Amino acid sequence: MLGDDDVIFSIRLGGLMALVELLGSGNAFLPSGRLHSFLAIDRHIIVDCPPTALASLRIAGISPADIDVLLVTHVHGDHVFGFPNFLLERKYISDREGQKKLIVAGSEIVRERLTTLCKLAYPGSLDDMLQTIEWVDDLETSDWKFERFEVLHDPEVEPHGWMMDHKEGWSMLHSGDSGPCEELWNRVEKCKFAIVEMGVPEWVATEHHHKPSHITDLAKKCSQTKIILTHTYIDSDYEILTKEIPEFPPNVIHGEDGMKFNLNSNGIIL
């Protein structure tokens, strides 16, 4: 049962629900009160595997062995450097018998980079685990069809967002790390629910992340989409950079670690 302190969006009419949990909401620099940006879907699918992934899973009460799908947006450290410890935990703690399947979905660089990380972190210890992983580009499960699409970020890490089409005919997406780009914004407009990064404040000179003004423009363009902000630079506990959350249109919610969302085809009602 979801607690009173959780942020819950309920759909009141019919259809199967999907549970989406924002396990971490911070950018690479870990603003106070936040773990790295990290998402779980139905408590068995995760988006990325950041350095704080195990901590996030422990807090949420999700066993690493229950994760059967990992969607990788790109291979920057704050998005994948938790993978060796995630595998190590499965091998020695939560799946000692090696019974649990794991699918890792991402671009061509994903298998190479994650394998290298495991060999650097724990030489020889994870070779058997790596052999059991099913490495794929895109993916379709009984409930979801997952499709990668290119976004605007450092091209060396092959950045992608993930479009997620539910079998009941509605869609959501995760932007990964990206600045404003036509492909992403057009897809957001097609979704009822979108998790979008806002990695930098307004004064940072970069095209590879969304800034507050970009989010305002996106929200106005996609007024029927509920936009949840993650990978944020804003402190949640004590102030390091800033605790000030900009004023956004009503369809935008600034994410916090531990937020939970119930979704289905009939729209989102607070």
pLDDT in tens, 13-72: 345 689 999 999 999 999 999 999 999 999 999 999 999 999 999 999 999 999 999 999
Nearest to 170 by CA among 48, 15, 29: 15
Contact 228, 253 (CB under 8 A): yes
- Calpha distance 103→77 (Å, rounded): 20
pLDDT recorded at residue 265: 74
pLDDT recorded at residue 10: 37
Which stretches does DSSP call E strand in 94-156? 103-105, 134-136, 139-140, 144-150
For residues 191-220, give the mean pLDDT: 97
Of 27-31, 136-140, 177-181, 231-235, the one with minimum mean pLDDT is: 136-140
- Cα separation values, 41 from 24, 147, 260, Å: 13, 15, 10
Please count the other Cβ atoms lying within 10 Å of the Cβ belonging to residue 156. Answer: 10
What are the tokens at 107?
Answer: 């671009």
DSSP-derived pairing of the beta strands 252-254 and 193-197: unpaired
pLDDT recorded at residue 269: 38
- Model confidence pLDDT, tens digit, residues 71-104: 999 999 999 999 999 999 999 999 999 999 999 9
List domains and CATH numbers for the chain. 18-263 (3.60.15.10)
pLDDT recorded at residue 173: 98
In this prediction the pTM is 0.93
Q: Exposed, middle or buried: residue 269 (CB in 10 Å: 0-12, 13-18, 19+)? A: exposed
Q: Angle of helix 182-189 relative to helix 212-221, nearest 10 degrees? A: 50
Arithmetic mean of pLDDT over the chain: 93
Q: Exposed, middle or buried: residue 130 (CB in 10 Å: 0-12, 13-18, 19+)? A: middle
What are the tokens at 246?
Answer: 């900009």
